[in-house]
Structure 1
Amino acid sequence: MNDLSSLHQVVESSRVDPEVFLLRPDYRAVLIAADGLVPGPSDQTSEDLLSHAEGFARELLKTTLVEQLAHVAAWRDAYRGFGAKPQRTRNSLEALLRRSATGLPRVNRLTDIYNAISVLHQVPLGGEDLTGYAGPPRLTLARGTEPFDTATGGEETVEFPEPGEVVWRDDIGVTCRRWNWRQGRRTQLKNNTETALFILDALEPMTDHALQLAADALASHLSQLGPDVQTASRLIRPEPIKS
């Protein structure tokens, strides 16, 4: 995938099923497809960004518990809405914030960047390798029969979501369970990923403006990961109700 039209096709063909918007009418997502990324290990730039995010989180959590932060609380409520227990399965933003005291993970410069943006902008943010996809990404309520490839105790295994669970999926199966909890192995970012998809999830009280600022910050950092980086993005939100 090395032309901009292919990236636009990815984001334009992605969808959120109406049942998800019935569950959370305040849900919005920005999808960013990127190509031309030059993979590499964590470097000084990603280290500086993660250190900045860790300091930001520590200051934030001096006066407020993680679960009381506005966007974290909103996602906890959303998890309860489809039967998940947020104290057991934490959304990706909350999981990162809880790790900030002892240090955010250092994985590779691509993963480091999006983890730092997630913390700095207080938004759940996932990154996936687009070459692992079969068909367009879509957010839907699971039937419970969709395969999800993961690992348990270091062993590869296949799980299945609970019926009614909110999942990201493609034509083969689930790519991320419980909205933004755990990503599958098939589409996970790798050390040689050059083409990626990023999903930023928002609920009220996060505004469209704040969501766009997070997306712009991510796109700006991605543009520095190679001389030929190209990106395409799209905001997905509920269709206005017709009178």
Structure 2
Amino acid sequence: MILDVKADVLSPNPGMRIVATAVRGIDNTTDNPEIDALLAASWQDMGAQLNSVGSAQQHPFVAPWRDALRNLGINGKKYPCAIESMVRRAFKSPEPLRLNPLTDFIHSLSLRHVVPLGAFDADDIGGGELELRRTREDDLFQPLDAPEAVPVEPNEVAYAWRNQILTRHFVWRQAAQALIRRETTNAIIVVELLDQVDETATKSFITELHSGLEKFFGPASFPQVLDSDDSRAVLT
């Protein structure tokens, strides 16, 4: 699978990077107490920040996403970044939403580092190119709560495979297609970083992501960083 990030997605926000990796042959069916503990700790740590932060959109690592989305033509209030939505849930509920081991691990890292982090079932989309691009007139999106795919407006920012849109409004909502489920065995993981995440923090995050994937799920490719200078990666 090739990940190709189009220049017009990165250029409005200088310093934006996409971190991508792949993990194969995973067991996503068996609950892992250590992953459960990681998610619970990250969730509780975030919830404890409510009094000092005030609201999810005011969190110092969440607030810049409103500006970044605006630069891409996205209404961040109407289509909030996934990390804003997750922080809001952690502020409201003392108990995390648990889905499956890989998703729970990803959510634990997302909250710990306060960055949007997602994954796609690699087998569900097959080979070829996974793109981060502007949508086109023939693109379709399969909502989680709808029986069939629906057209999307052109010029949205989205992860796409062929004409199948896998996320709406960049980091807002994921499609039913390529969703990580318990039967998932091969996955592609993507992380979106703004320039507020400096080089040291980026290296720390990448190390934690890679070591965690290998510890809990088996061999994973070392995460690659895509930016305006190098926007294409082969994920093996």
| Equivalence for 1:188 | 179
Query: 2:219 aligned to 229, 236, 239, which one?
Result: 229
How much has 1:41 moved relative to structure 2? Answer: 4.3
Could you tell me whether the CA contact under 8 Å between 1:139 and 1:169 is conserved in 2?
yes
Q: How much does 1:211 deviate?
A: 2.6
Please, what is the CA RMSD of the aligned residues?
1.9
Asked if 2 retains the 8 angstrom alpha-carbon contact of 1:70 and 1:205, the reply is no
Q: Residue 234 of structure 1 aligns to which amino acid in structure 2? A: Q
| Partners of 2:12 and 2:137 in 1: CA distance | 18
| 8 Å Cα contact 1:53/1:116 also seen in 2 | yes
Q: 1:81 to 1:157 in 2, by over 3 A?
A: farther
Identity of aligned residues (%): 23
Q: Tell me the distance in 2 between the aligned counterparts of 1:54 and 1:201.
A: 20
User: Hey, what does 2:35 align to over in structure 1?
Assistant: 46
Deviating 4+ runs (over 6 angstroms): none
2:204 aligns to what?
A: 213
Equivalences for residues 24-173 of structure 1 within 5 A: 24-64=13-53, 65-101=55-91, 102=93, 103-134=95-126, 135-152=128-145, 155-173=146-164
The amino acid that maps onto 2:142 is: D
Tell me how far 1:189 sits from its aligned partner: 0.5
Give the 3-state SS of the residue equivalent to 2:148 in structure 1: strand
Kept in 2: contact 1:26–1:203 (CA 8 A): yes
- Note the residue ranges of structure 1 that are not aligned, 5 or more in a row: 1-9
Q: SS where residue 188 of structure 1 aligns?
A: coil
TM superposition shift of 1:205? 1.2
Deviation of 1:106 after TM superposition, in Å, equals 0.4
Q: How many residues align?
A: 226
**Local SS of the residue matching 1:224:** helix
What are structure 2's unaligned runs of at least 5 residues?
231-236
- Report if aligned partners of 1:82, 1:164 keep a CA contact under 8 Å in 2: no
In structure 2, the CA distance between the partners of 1:40 and 1:28, relative to structure 1 (3 Å rule), is same
